[in-house]
Structure 1
Amino acid sequence: MGKYVLFASIPAWGHIYPVMAGLTELAARGHRVRCVAATGFAQEVGRSVDVVPYESPMDSARAELADMGNVLSLMLEETRTSYAVLEKLVREERPDVIVSDVLATSGWLLGQAFGIPLVRTWPVFASNSEFSLHQDYESRPDTEESMADFFGAVAGFLAETGVPDVRPEQFFDNEADRNIALFPREMQPRGETFDSRFTFITPCIRPAEESAELGWLRASQPLAVVSLGTVFNEKIGFFRTCLEGIDRLGWHAAAALGDKVTPADVGPVSDRVLLRRSLPMIDSLRHASVAISHGGLTSTIEALAQGVPVLVAPQIGEQHAVADRVEALGLGVRLREPFTAAEVADLIKQVAHDTAMAERLAEFRRKLRGGRGGGEFADAVEAACP
């Protein structure tokens, strides 16, 4: 008999794309899958599963996330808003299991409040007693005063919701007995220390878009893909320098500028350059010889799944962790700021002509694509169902 699976995440494609194949597989197996999704994400997510849209404060205030000092307050407002939506759904019909993104604290709280089995998903590096992404790669400018204010606000929220036996500090350290890491164990720092509560799966790589740009991408060789993701992407100088370095080699470039930088900001470019607010990323990576990015874990996995070496220019702590793992595995190099166009050109040549790296990339690509990611995800969720 099919189960009722309720999924909660935050409004970030890097947290949603990696689970979509798994949720789709659960639905194909006869389970009822509902996903609470911010309004801007609901249409695309709704192509695969039943969606309950809501107005997300994090989605509407996306520009504020670029200032790390705003993250805690936005996260709390996101939790407060999504918890209200989730609680209403649970009171209407109790799910058999909650699947909750690691940053969707509302999902974890709901499991605690109603005694519902919970599976946590990790599209970012997982944490245990041996490794903590926040402690080992600290990003936020927290002070004792700011944390005291934040935990006071969390305590007020917990009192409003009436969740029993939950301390404000558990807003971060909310352990789950079942966890799905959406990437191979080899990518995880201190991966050997994670016990049976953590299932590392073959990544769920989204399919190619078959976009209108496909003809240009296919004909534009060699090709470098440039992106800074969707949050910390306001660096005009980054795009200019990368594109100049690529141009020095006579390569083609496809750049995803995001919503803060315009093509006019970057300046005149040749017909070897494709500038877009967002790229059809899988189409682009399938035809790329190198990717230059911020080092988001999802975007890095997507590049490596196509056998593309990465130049990582990390912006925040978790991206520094990704850069460290990429270098440790020999699958790319770190692009250290400040850098020049000449340095970009030299690093591109270095990775493009590194035959040993190419062999490692081919082997890792087989690992990323050789499993049954959606099936492994669905197996792990089914194992948590009563």
Structure 2
Amino acid sequence: MGRQVLFASVPAWGHVYPVLAGLAELVRRGHRVRCLASGSFAAEVGKVVEVVPYESPMDSARAELADMGKVLPLLLEETRASYAELERAVGERRPDVLVSDVLATSGWLLGRARGIPVVRTWPVFASNSEFSLHQDYQSRKDTDESMSAFFGAVASFLREIGLESEVSPEEFFDNEAERNIALFPREIQPRGETFGSRFTFITPCVRPAEQSPELAWLREAKPLAVVSLGTVFTDNLDFFRTCVEGADRLGWHTAAALGAKISPADVGPVSDRVLLRAKLPMIDTLRHASAAITHGGLTSTLEALAQGVPVLIAPQIGEQRGVADRVEALGLGVRLHEPFTPDQLADVLKQVADDTAMAERLARFSQRLRNGRGPDEFADAVEAAFPA
């Protein structure tokens, strides 16, 4: 007999895409799965599971995510909004297990409040006593004053929901569950060998190809450099211009995802070897790519590696510096240090393209990812948390 699963998410594609195939597998196994989803995410999520709609502060204030000083207050606003909707959803139909994204603290808190088993999902590097993303890579710009104000606001929220005696403000900020799913292989995780049985590392659940109208162009684009800065840090016009020019100097094609802040006209006149879009059909594009030039988001990096594409990472924040370090350590790509010139980028592209040893490592790693049981591993880990 199927069980009830409620997934607490945040409106960020790098956190949503890695779990959709796993949630779909739970549905295939006969479980009833609901997922928190804000307006711009509801349609995509609704193709896979039942949507619990809500108004997300993160969805309507996406530009603030680029300012690391505003991230924590915004996450607290997100927790307030999503907690209220999750509480209603639990009241309507109590789940057997709450699956909660690492940024969806509302799910973890509601599990504590209602005594519901919680499984935490990590689409970003996990932390333990041996490794901390915040400390090792200084992923935020906090001051004593800002943290004091943040912890005070958290304490007020915990009082409102009746958890002030069970959860400290520090736990709100940095916590894990009894069961955690890291949505990537253990060797990607810094100090991965130090994570014990509370963490299950799985093969990534890479989304399927889009079969987009751009396929005709992509099939003829050889060699092809894919350029993207994700969905948050997308207003670096010089970065896009430099990448297009650098690839052009080698006679390569370029497909660039510019985001919502930069238009193709901003990049300037380009040749017919260049495809500029606000958003690319990324899996279609990567399947035809020779290299990916990226910010180093973990999800987008894994999507490239799953297609056997070397990644050139220009990190924008601390977490992405960590991804770049792991990719270099595994010999699957290189880190770019900004600012770089078109000539310097062209040199790096050529070196990577000519590196046969890297190509062999990529082939082995991508085969492992493509042949893995990611959705099954995800569903197995969630089912293990069901009460007897």
Equivalent residue for 2:124? 124
- CA shift, 1:79, in A, is 0.4
- How far apart in 1 are the matches of 2:290 and 2:317? 25
- How far apart in 1 are the matches of 2:206 and 2:141? 33
- How far apart in 2 are the matches of 1:211 and 1:28? 26
- CA shift, 1:233, in A, is 1.0
- How far apart in 2 are the matches of 1:200 and 1:142? 30
- How far apart in 1 are the matches of 2:238 and 2:28? 46
Equivalent residue for 1:142? 142
Please state whether the residue corresponding to 1:384 is helix, strand or coil: coil
- CA shift, 1:137, in A, is 0.8
- CA shift, 1:141, in A, is 1.4
- What stretches of structure 2 of length at least 5 have no aligned partner? none
- How far apart in 2 are the matches of 1:140 and 1:380? 31
- CA shift, 1:52, in A, is 1.2
- How far apart in 1 are the matches of 2:136 and 2:368? 27
Equivalent residue for 1:367? 368
- CA shift, 1:121, in A, is 0.4
- How far apart in 2 are the matches of 1:90 and 1:108? 13
- How far apart in 2 are the matches of 1:305 and 1:14? 15
Please state whether the residue corresponding to 2:384 is helix, strand or coil: helix
Letter aligned with residue 355 of structure 1:
T
1:381 aligns with 2:387: no
Equivalent residue for 1:247? 248
Letter aligned with residue 262 of structure 1:
S
Equivalent residue for 1:235? 236
Equivalent residue for 2:41? 41
TM-score (norm 1): 0.99
Q: How many residues align?
A: 386
Equivalent residue for 2:8? 8
Letter aligned with residue 220 of structure 1:
A
The 5 A counterparts of 1:1-386 are 1-163=1-163, 164-386=165-387
- How far apart in 1 are the matches of 2:82 and 2:4? 19
Letter aligned with residue 121 of structure 1:
T
Identical amino acids, percent of aligned pairs: 77
Letter aligned with residue 287 of structure 1:
H
- What stretches of structure 1 of length at least 5 have no aligned partner? none
- The runs of 4+ residues in structure 1 deviating greater than 2 Å are none
* Matched-pair contact (CA < 8 Å) for 2:122–2:180: yes
- CA shift, 1:173, in A, is 1.9
Letter aligned with residue 284 of structure 2:
D
Letter aligned with residue 181 of structure 1:
A
1:211-230: CA deviation from partner (whole Å, max 9, x where unpaired): 01011001111100000000
- How far apart in 2 are the matches of 1:141 and 1:282? 33
- How far apart in 1 are the matches of 2:259 and 2:251? 24
- CA shift, 1:48, in A, is 0.7
Please state whether the residue corresponding to 1:139 is helix, strand or coil: coil
- How far apart in 2 are the matches of 1:310 and 1:31? 37
- CA shift, 1:94, in A, is 1.1
- CA shift, 1:187, in A, is 0.4
Letter aligned with residue 317 of structure 1:
G
* Matched-pair contact (CA < 8 Å) for 2:295–2:313: yes
